[in-house]
C-alpha cells in the first residue's frame, strides 16, 4: 500500500482543490501545470486520444497551412456555416447532408440533444461520462442502470431492454465503447437492441471511441450512424478529439433525423465550428489522409491492447476488458484511488484519472489511457516498480 | 446606372444561390471561391475586422506557438473549462470572474441568452444583426423599432424609452455601435437609458464593435460591461472577431449577473472554447500585447474614418455616419443593391454586402467594411471609376 510523505500530501491537497473545481472531469494539463508549477508531467494518461493521429494532423497542418502561410486565412475569416460543413462530410459518411449536425466538439451536440429532446425521463448506464446526467435540464428524472462489476461492466442487453420497457423513458444513452470502462456492444447486438426499443423517442449512441473498437482482426470499425435513415429516433454522437487526437480544435458531429437537424439549425448553431475545425473536416474526407490515418489507427489499437495485457499482469491491479483506448483499473491492494493517482503524478510524473467521482463504481478505481508505446512502457515500468 | 453583361448575369445568379443558402448572412469567402472558382476576390469588404490586428495576432502565434512547436499541445489537449478562462479575464476586465461567461464566438452567447432568458417579448431595433430575431425560440413576440433614415438610423433615445415602457418586453437588444449602420450611443446616454429601463428583465448590449468607437480624440473606448454589478438585468455581449481580426478562432465573452452565469454553466458550456481561443485569451490579458494592440486599433480607426470621408465624396452614394468599422451606404443613382454588389465582385474583385435582406431598410443599401489602407484605396478608386 502506498503512503505519501507530508510534503507530497500538501501537493496532493492542492491537486484535490483543482479536481473539485473541475467538477466530474479532470483539470486540463495546462491548469494543473499553471497552478502547481513544481509538478513535472511526463505522461498524460488522463487524456484519451491517439497521439499518432495528432502527429499525423500536425504534419498536414504544417504542410498545408503553416508552410504556405494559409493559416492566416483560417484565423482571420469566419468558418463556413454548419450546413456547408455537413455537406462536405455527407459523401464520405454516406449519409444525407440534412441528417448531419456539426458541433463544437461532441459535448455541444450532447448538450443540444439533452436540452432540446430529453423531456421527462432518461436511462443512463453507470459508470458513464458524467455530462449525460449533469447536462440534463431541471426536472428530468434519471434512471441509472448499474453495469455490474461481476459482469465486467458489460451491458446485459436483455436485462437492459427489459428495464427500458418497464421504465418507458423518452431518452436512453449508450456509449459504445463505454467510458470509463471500454465495454463494447457488437454491431449485431446493437441492431437487435434498437429494433426492440423503437418506442423510445431518443436513442443517443455516443460513438466517440468507436475507432478503437473492432470485432475481428481486420480491425474494421462498425459505426451504426447510417441506421439513422431507418431509425428516426436514433442520434449518433461523434467526437473527433479521441481518434484524431485533436481535442484542442473542438470538432464533432451528430447524425440524426433531418427534422432534428433542421430544428436545431432553425434558431442557432450558425458558426459553431472554427477555421481549424473546418480545415480538419476538409482533411478528414480526403482519401490520402484517411489512408495514412487508417495506418496509425490500427497501429495504436495493437499497441493499446498489448499495453492492456501488460497491465493485467500486475497482480495488485484488476484491468477490466476494454475495446477503447483506456482501461478501467481496480486497485486490489487497499490503496485509495485518490492517493494512488496523486502518487503517480507527484512522484512519477504520470497523470491518471481517479474514478472516485464516477457514480456506480464500488471500490477503488482509476482509469489509464493508452499513449505512445514509449509512454505506455513508462507507465508499465513505473507500476511494476511501485508494486515490486 | 450599372448594367451587367449576359455572362456576368449568369455568375450573379450563382452568387444569389449561395447568398440564399447562407440565409441573412453572407456566404464565407471560402464558400464563394469554392463554388465559383472563376471569381478573383481582391478585397473582402464584406468582412468586418481589423486586418492589422490579425497581423499582430499572427505574429504572436508564430513566435509563441509555431516557432516553439507548442502548437501541438494547443491542438492535442482539451482547452481549459469555461470558468478557468473567465478567471483569466477577470483581472484585466476588472469584473468578478463569476460574472464572465466564455463563448465560442459572441454568437453562442447570443443564442444562450435568447434561448434561456427571453420568454415572451423582445424589442429589436432595425436594421440589425439578424440573429437577434432569427435565434428566438418559437412564440416569442418581436417588436421592431425602426431606426429612421431621416435620423441617419440613430437611436432616438427618448422615443425608444417610451416604446419600451409601452410594450413592456422582457428583453431588449442594443448593438453599440449598431450593425449594419455603425450608429453609436454615447456612454452617458447609455447610463440614462439603463436607469430608465430598470424594469426590463434582460437588457442585451452587444459591444462587438465598441473598439472602433470613440467619444473624443483620445480614442478611448467606453464599455458599459462593469455596470453589470449595479444592473443585474444587463447582459453585455462581446465578440473578439472584429476588433482582434480572428473570426476563425471563435472567441467571445459575455458579462452578466453571477446567477445567470452559474445557471448557464450548471448544465452545459463546459469546453466551449478551443485551444487557440484559450491561447488568444491568455494573450489578450498581457500588458505588452495590449500596448501593441492599442496602436493598431487607433491606426485602424483613423484610417477607417478617412475612408468613410472619401466614400462620402462620391455623389452617387450616401454614406451614413458610422463609429464602427463599416459604413451603410445608400445607392442614389437607381442601381439595385444586388446588382451593384455583383458588379463589384465579378468585375472588380471587391466582395461587399448587399443589405436587401435587412429588414427595416427602404431603398437600395450596401455595407462596406474598412480594410487596410491599400484595400480601402482600391475600393475608393474602383467606385470613382464606376461613377466617372
Say what angle helices B82-93 and B275-284 make with each other, to 10 degrees.
20
Closest CA to A320 of A149, A91, A82: A149
Q: CB B77 to CB A271 under 8 A? A: no
What residues of chain A, 46 to 65, have a C-beta less than 8 Å from chain B? 47, 49, 51, 54, 57-58, 61
Going B171 to B174 to B175 to B181, the CA torsion angle's sign is: positive
Tell me which residue has cell 445607392: B331
Backbone angles phi, psi at B380, to 5 degrees: -60, -45
pLDDT (tens digit, 9 = 90+) per residue, B78-95?
999 999 999 999 999 999
Strand-strand pairing, A202-206 and A365-369 = unpaired
Region A83-90: mean pLDDT is 95
Name the pLDDT band for A4 (thresholds 50, 70, 90): confident
Cβ-Cβ contacts under 8 Å for B137 (sequence gap 6 or more):
A267, B114, B115, B118
pLDDT (tens digit, 9 = 90+) per residue, A230-239?
999 999 999 9
What pLDDT does residue A278 have? 96
User: Measured between CB atoms, does B278 come within 8 Å of chain A?
Assistant: yes
CA distance B77 to chain A (A): 5
What pLDDT does residue A1 have? 67
What pLDDT does residue B148 have? 96
Q: By CA distance, what is B278's nearest residue in A?
A: A248
- Residues of B with CB below 8 A from A61's CB? 71, 75
**For the CA atoms of chain A, what is the radius of gyration?**
21
Contact assessment for residue B31 and residue B22, using Cβ atoms and an 8 Å cutoff: yes
Tell me which residue has cell 442557432: A268
Q: What is the pLDDT along chain B (388 residues), one digit of tens a residue?
A: 678 899 999 999 998 899 888 888 888 777 888 889 999 999 999 999 999 999 999 999 999 999 999 999 999 999 999 999 999 999 999 999 999 999 999 999 999 999 999 999 999 999 999 999 999 998 999 999 999 999 999 999 999 999 999 999 999 999 999 999 999 999 999 999 999 999 999 999 999 999 999 999 999 999 999 999 999 999 999 999 999 999 999 999 999 999 999 999 999 998 899 999 999 999 999 999 999 999 999 999 999 999 999 999 999 999 999 999 999 999 999 999 999 999 999 999 999 999 988 999 989 999 999 999 999 999 999 999 999 8
Closest CA to B108 of A131, A81, A268: A268
pLDDT (tens digit, 9 = 90+) per residue, A35-65?
899 999 999 999 899 999 999 999 999 999 9
Q: CB B268 to CB A115 under 8 A? A: yes
Rounded to whole angstroms, the maximal C-alpha distance in chain B is 60
Contact assessment for residue A209 and residue A325, using Cβ atoms and an 8 Å cutoff: yes
Q: By CA distance, what is B82's nearest residue in A?
A: A22
Name the pLDDT band for A27 (thresholds 50, 70, 90): confident
Contact assessment for residue A79 and residue B249, using Cβ atoms and an 8 Å cutoff: no
Name the pLDDT band for A26 (thresholds 50, 70, 90): confident
**What stretch of H or E contains B386?**
helix B373-386
- Residues of B with CB below 8 A from A58's CB? 71-72, 75
Cα gap B267→B270, rounded to integer Å: 8
Region A258-269: mean pLDDT is 96
Model confidence at A23: pLDDT above 90:
no
Contact assessment for residue A224 and residue A205, using Cβ atoms and an 8 Å cutoff: yes
User: How far apart, in Å, are the Cα atoms of B319 and each of A19, B311, B316?
Assistant: 55, 7, 10
Strand-strand pairing, A43-44 and A350-351 = parallel
Task: Please name the member of A27, A75, A105 whose beta carbon is closest to the beta carbon of B246.
Answer: A75
Task: Please name the member of A23, A267, A273 whose beta carbon is closest to the beta carbon of B137.
Answer: A267
Closest CA to A286 of A96, A65, A103, A92: A92
Cell of A186: 457488437
- Residues of A with CB below 8 A from B22's CB? 81
Q: By CA distance, what is A135's nearest residue in B?
A: B267
User: Measured between CB atoms, does A78 come within 8 Å of chain B?
Assistant: yes
Half-sphere exposure of B298 (CA within 13 A, CB side): 12
Strand partners, A65: none
Helices (H), chain A: 6-21, 29-35, 51-61, 71-76, 82-93, 106-117, 131-134, 157-167, 187-196, 258-266, 275-284, 287-312, 337-348, 373-386
Cα gap A29→B199, rounded to integer Å: 45
Q: Is A36 helix (H, G, I), strand (E, B) or coil?
A: coil
Cell of A355: 474514478
Cα gap A311→A326, rounded to integer Å: 11
User: How far apart, in Å, are the Cα atoms of B204 and each of A221, A333, B221?
Assistant: 47, 57, 19
User: How far apart, in Å, are the Cα atoms of A154 and each of A144, A151, A176, A318, A323?
Assistant: 15, 6, 11, 15, 11
Contact assessment for residue A47 and residue A369, using Cβ atoms and an 8 Å cutoff: yes
Region A263-286: mean pLDDT is 95
User: Measured between CB atoms, does A29 come within 8 Å of chain B?
Assistant: yes
Tell me which residue has cell 452587444: B206
Cα gap B319→B325, rounded to integer Å: 13
Say what angle helices B82-93 and B258-266 make with each other, to 10 degrees.
160
Amino acid at each position: 500500500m502506498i503512503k505519501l510523505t507530508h510534503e507530497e500530501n500538501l501537493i496532493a491537497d492542492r491537486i484535490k482543490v483543482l479536481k473539485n473545481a473541475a467538477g466530474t472531469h479532470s483539470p486540463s494539463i495546462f491548469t494543473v501545470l499553471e497552478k502547481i508549477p513544481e509538478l513535472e508531467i511526463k505522461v498524460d494518461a488522463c487524456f484519451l486520444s491517439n497521439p499518432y493521429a495528432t502527429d499525423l494532423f500536425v504534419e498536414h497542418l504544417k504542410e498545408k497551412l503553416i508552410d504556405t502561410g494559409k493559416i492566416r486565412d483560417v484565423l482571420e475569416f469566419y468558418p463556413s456555416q454548419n450546413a456547408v460543413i455537413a455537406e462536405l462530410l455527407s459523401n464520405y459518411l454516406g449519409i444525407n447532408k440534412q441528417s448531419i449536425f456539426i458541433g463544437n466538439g461532441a459535448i455541444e451536440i450532447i448538450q443540444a440533444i439533452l436540452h432540446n429532446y430529453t423531456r421527462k425521463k432518461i436511462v443512463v448506464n453507470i459508470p458513464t461520462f458524467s455530462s449525460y446526467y449533469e447536462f440534463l435540464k431541471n426536472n428530468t428524472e434519471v434512471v441509472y442502470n448499474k453495469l455490474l462489476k461481476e459482469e465486467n461492466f458489460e451491458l446485459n442487453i436483455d436485462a437492459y431492454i427489459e428495464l427500458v420497457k418497464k421504465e418507458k423513458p423518452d431518452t436512453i444513452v449508450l456509449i459504445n465503447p463505454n467510458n470509463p470502462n471500454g465495454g463494447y456492444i457488437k454491431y449485431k447486438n446493437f441492431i437487435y437492441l434498437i429494433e426492440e426499443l423503437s418506442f423510445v423517442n431518443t436513442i443517443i449512441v455516443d460513438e466517440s471511441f468507436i475507432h478503437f473498437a473492432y470485432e475481428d482482426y481486420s480491425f474494421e470499425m462498425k459505426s451504426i450512424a447510417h441506421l439513422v435513415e431507418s431509425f428516426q429516433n436514433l442520434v449518433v454522437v461523434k467526437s473527433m478529439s479521441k481518434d484524431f487526437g485533436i481535442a484542442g480544435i473542438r470538432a464533432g458531429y451528430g447524425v440524426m433525423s433531418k427534422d432534428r437537424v433542421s430544428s436545431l439549425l432553425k434558431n442557432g448553431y450558425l458558426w459553431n465550428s472554427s477555421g481549424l475545425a473546418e480545415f480538419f473536416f476538409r482533411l478528414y474526407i480526403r482519401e490520402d489522409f484517411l489512408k495514412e490515418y487508417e495506418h496509425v489507427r490500427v497501429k495504436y489499437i495493437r499497441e493499446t491492447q498489448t499495453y492492456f495485457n501488460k497491465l493485467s499482469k500486475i497482480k495488485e491491479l484488476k484491468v477490466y476488458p476494454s475495446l477503447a483506448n483506456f482501461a478501467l483499473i481496480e486497485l486490489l491492494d487497499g490503496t485509495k484511488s485518490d492517493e494512488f493517482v496523486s502518487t503517480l503524478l507527484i512522484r512519477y510524473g504520470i497523470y491518471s484519472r481517479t474514478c472516485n467521482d464516477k457514480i456506480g463504481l464500488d471500490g477503488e478505481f482509476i482509469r489509464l489511457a493508452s499513449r505512445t508505446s514509449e509512454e505506455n512502457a513508462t507507465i508499465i515500468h513505473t507500476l511494476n516498480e511501485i508494486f515490486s
